[in-house]
Structure 1
Amino acid sequence: MAFWTYMLKCADGHYYVGHSDNLEARIAAHQSGVIGGYTHSRRPVELVWCETFGTREEAIAAERQIKGWSRAKKRALIVGDWDLMSVLARCRAGG
């Protein structure tokens, strides 16, 4: 079974990071408002990034890591700018 870590862009421009074992159903639930909380009042949402993991623990670890990132680093992940991600990681580590 695959587990997903995903990032949504909300209507207000904020990013939401979560994990699921059924990505399509989870995105639909966010979109319809079935899931309360952060995304409920920020719909519609758009899936901007996702990655699969072999275990739920790996997906949760990735979710927690990404939630701690700056907005700039999240944007770099979304567009796949690995050079910028590396620079941003060094800036944070040194700062």
Structure 2
Amino acid sequence: MINAKDRYTYGHSERVTYYVHKMAEKIGLSEEEIRLLDYASFLHDIGKIEIDREILNKPSNLNDEEWAIMKQHPIWGSDMVKPLAKLRPIVPI
């Protein structure tokens, strides 16, 4: 979904997931904990699908109104994940 709207965010999420996974393995987390962190790290910016492309891909600095919109994406992402029983454990992350 996010890849269709913003390729940078998709690639960023892949990289975050890779590094979180490696760190989780390194500190000895269980497979279940790592699996949940993989989901959480990959989906951490999913709320950005609610943001207009013009704001997501703006080449210059965001104005105050645009920045206020951008800061809402974690809330929107959390709202998207909450109804999904399998992903409910990652909401606090």
The verdict on a shared fold, with TM-score over 0.5 as the criterion, is no
Q: Which has the larger radius of gyration?
A: 2
Name the TM-score, length of structure 2 as normaliser: 0.29
Q: Which has the higher strand share?
A: 1
